[in-house]
Structure formats: C-alpha cells, structure tokens
C-alpha cells in the first residue's frame, strides 16, 4: 500500500520523538519515500542527522538555512506529499493546526498540503484529557484530518493512562488500512500481459518484436495501486514492477497462452497489452543453424489467438480489454478486433502517431467501447495513459 508513496513525517517536541526513528525505518521498509520535518523543540529529543540517515533525505527544521542560503519551500513540500503524518503530535502543535497558526515550517506545510493528514498525539494524561485539547482534536477531525488515537500505558510523568504515542508498526498498519478503504479496485483480481514473445528458430535465434513491456507494466502497477490483486504475465523484458504483485515470466506465445488460461477464470479484470507473435516456426532446430546457402526460409504456423480464446471464455461479470497497434486503417481494424474477440473495450495506438509505439516513454491512445463510443487522448507518459485506461475500467465495473 505504501510502495512509492511520498510521505511527510512531522515530528514535534515530545519524549516520544525517539519513536520517529523507528517509524521512519518502518515506512522506508514498506517502500515509501519519506521526508521529515522537525519542530525546533523536537530537535532537542532526536537529531536531524539520525532521521536524515534513516530517511535518506535531508531533514527540514526551519524555513531558511542561514548558513547555506537554502529556503525550504513549504508549498512544494505540501504538494509533494501523498500523505502527511504528524507523530508525535504535541498539544502545542495540535492547537496550532486546529487554529490555523503558522509560526513554523511544520504548520506551514500542513496548511499547504492537499493530501490526507494523519495526527498521532503524544502527551501526558491530563493534557490529553483537557477540554482545549479535545476541542482542538474535534476541529482537526472536522477539517478532514484522521486521528491515530493515543494508547493507554505508562507515561513519562509516571502516570498511567491515555497519551502514549501509538507504536510505529501500529501507525504504519493504520495508514495502510486507511489507504485500502478508499481504493476502488480493492478485492478485485486483475491479470495483465506485457512485453513481447520470442518464438525460437534454434537455440540461438528467435522471431520477436520491439515491445519493451513498458505499457503493460504501467497498467499492472496502476491496477495494483488502485487496490487490485494483480497477476502480471510478462514476456522477455527488462522492465520491473514497482508495486507488489505476482509475476509470471514466459517466453513464447504458447507459454503465455498456458499462463493466461491458468489465471483467467479467477480474474475480474484482464488487460491484454502484450505484443504476442502471430506466427511461430513449425520446426525448431535443436542445434544452431549454420550459414550455408544464399537463401534461407522458415516455415511458420499461426499461434493461438490468446485474446480470442479468452473472449470465448469470458463471463458477464468479467472485464476484458485488448490492444490494437496498427499502421494503417487503424480504426477499422480496431473495431473489427473489438467485436470479434468479445472485448469490453479496445485500446488503439498507431505507429503513425508521434510518441506512440514500442520502447517509448509515452503513448497516444484512442479507446473504443462495445457500443463503438470513441474516446481520444493526447500524447502522455505511459504511466498517465495507464491511469486513463484504468479509469475506463472502473467506470465499467460501476
């Protein structure tokens, strides 16, 4: 859930600040990118060096570093964050957040942030129970912030009761659970194919294509980020998934067919973006073919049309998406493929469009739905294209 998420951690002046080191380590281990903001009082409890070392990022303590002349841009920090956590949150900082006071970098970033904010208080029992603190907590909730409630236990004062900072692993688990709640594809299973297939001629040579797998991997990552449990079936490619998922590596069209048939029935969403070979050699030489004659020919046979096979097996509650990469009569071929293969929609991209096709970081697509409704998109990064495609999938599921 936290893989590649950008997290601002605000640390306030509290003896519980020592736990922020453990929290940073846990967030990093979960795959997050972490930037830490220390209040002036917090730096009395834990050093910037400790948290910078653990987060692998500079630690921010004030608006302006006089020695270096570096300005900490609170607006940029607020916009960078996918999530903001204030832990430990002192009574003083909670009061400032609740009343819009902005006299330090942490509260300035808070007021600039567009992301969800989580507040994990830590203070003595009487401070936590005080009416002003509870009113400030209520105001923060009204503003849309989420409280990670303090735990009961022995406090620094020697008292026993509420006020202990939630343990770092509890904070991480709480954050992940909250993220899951808002994911539109939570509980859905998705299967994605990506990359080329290699059809062997002999132990050395093969028939292949220029597909890098970038589009398929972008789709698999986006589906996983939206909460789906993803099975990625990948042909030979150097691409790496950036989110947790099941990956099955295959080589040939026959390998990909076998893997797809094994997982299709349990998939709610299937996106077939791999560039599967249409033909494969009839006979594969067991030894390297030597260069002897002036001419050389290879007898080929059609591979099984995987997308067509899945279209025949498709159930009403399954979403099946195909791709069409064309060089001429693009729309006509895409519409024909859409109907013949029983797809919910097809994604057309043309090698005639600048920025589209194999090995590029960008793509330009047009989507045709079953009713032939056409939606065209501008050239975008493949990550953004994946978001557009997944948005169409979510519409269908609704």
Q: Which residues are catalytic?
A: 209
Which residue shows structure tokens 């969403």? Answer: 269
* Farthest-apart Cα atoms in the chain, separation: 93
**Alpha-carbon distances of 366 from 70, 81, 263, 363, 395, rounded to whole Å:** 45, 32, 28, 10, 16
Please give the helix or strand (H or E) that residue 272 lies within, else none.
Answer: strand 269-272
What is the torsional sign of CA 76, 221, 217, 320? negative
Decide if 6 contacts 78 (C-beta within 8 A): no
Decide if 54 contacts 25 (C-beta within 8 A): yes
Bridge partners for 247 per DSSP = 232
Ramachandran category for residue 20: left, alpha or beta (phi over 0 → left; psi -120 to 50 → alpha):
alpha
The verdict on whether residue 316 carries a ligand-binding annotation is no
The verdict on whether residue 380 carries a ligand-binding annotation is no
Decide if 227 contacts 185 (C-beta within 8 A): yes
Decide if 362 contacts 379 (C-beta within 8 A): yes
The verdict on whether residue 323 carries a ligand-binding annotation is yes
Per-position DSSP letters for 178-247, written without gaps between them: HHHHT-TTTT-EEEEEESB--EESSSS-EE-----SHHHHHHHHHHHHTT-EEEEEE-S-----SS--EE
The verdict on whether residue 301 carries a ligand-binding annotation is no
Please give the helix or strand (H or E) that residue 355 lies within, else none.
Answer: none
Q: Is 378 helix (H, G, I), strand (E, B) or coil?
A: coil
Please give the helix or strand (H or E) that residue 325 lies within, else none.
Answer: strand 319-326
The verdict on whether residue 5 carries a ligand-binding annotation is no
Which residue shows structure tokens 């605000």? Answer: 10
Annotated binding site for CTP: 278, 288, 323, 337, 341
* Residues placed in the known binding site: 278, 288, 323, 337, 341
């Amino acid at each position: 859930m936290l893989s590649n998420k950008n997290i601002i951690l605000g640390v306030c002046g509290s003896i519980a600040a020592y736990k922020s080191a453990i929290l940073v380590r846990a967030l990093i281990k979960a795959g997050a990118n972490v930037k830490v903001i220390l209040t002036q009082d917090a730096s009395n409890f834990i050093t910037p060096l400790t948290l910078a070392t653990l987060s692998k990022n500079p630690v921010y303590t004030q608006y302006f570093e006089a020695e270096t002349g570096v300005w900490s841009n609170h607006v940029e920090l607020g916009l960078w964050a996918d999530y903001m956590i204030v832990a430990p949150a002192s009574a003083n900082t909670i009061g400032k957040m609740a009343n819009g006071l902005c006299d330090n970098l942490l509260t300035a970033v808070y007021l600039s942030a567009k992301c969800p904010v989580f507040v994990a208080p830590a203070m003595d029992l009487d401070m936590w129970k005080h009416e002003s603190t509870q009113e400030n907590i209520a105001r923060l909730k009204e503003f849309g912030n989420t409280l990670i409630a303090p735990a009961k236990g022995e406090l620094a004062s020697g008292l026993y009761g509420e006020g202990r900072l939630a343990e770092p692993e509890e904070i991480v688990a709480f954050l992940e659970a909250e993220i899951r709640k808002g994911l539109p594809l939570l509980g859905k299973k998705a299967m994605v194919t990506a990359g080329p297939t290699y059809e062997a001629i002999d132990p050395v040579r093969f028939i292949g294509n220029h597909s890098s797998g970038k589009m398929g991997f972008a789709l698999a990552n986006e589906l996983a980020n939206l909460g789906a449990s993803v099975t990625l079936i990948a042909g030979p490619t150097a691409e790496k998934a950036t989110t947790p998922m099941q990956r099955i590596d295959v080589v040939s069209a026959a390998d990909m067919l076998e893997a797809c048939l094994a997982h299709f029935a349990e998939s709610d969403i299937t996106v077939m973006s791999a560039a599967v070979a249409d033909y494969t050699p009839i006979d594969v030489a067991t030894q390297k073919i030597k260069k002897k004659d002036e001419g050389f020919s290879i007898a080929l046979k059609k591979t099984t049309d995987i997308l067509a096979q899945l279209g025949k097996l498709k159930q009403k509650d399954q979403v099946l998406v195909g791709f069409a990469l064309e060089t001429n009569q693009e729309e006509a071929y895409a519409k024909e493929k859409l109907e013949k293969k029983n797809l919910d929609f097809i994604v057309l991209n043309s090698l005639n469009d600048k920025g589209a096709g194999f090995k590029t970081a960008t793509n330009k697509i047009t989507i045709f739905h079953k009713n032939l409704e056409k939606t065209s998109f501008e050239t975008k990064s493949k990550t953004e294209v994946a978001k557009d495609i997944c948005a169409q999938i979510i519409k269908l599921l609704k």
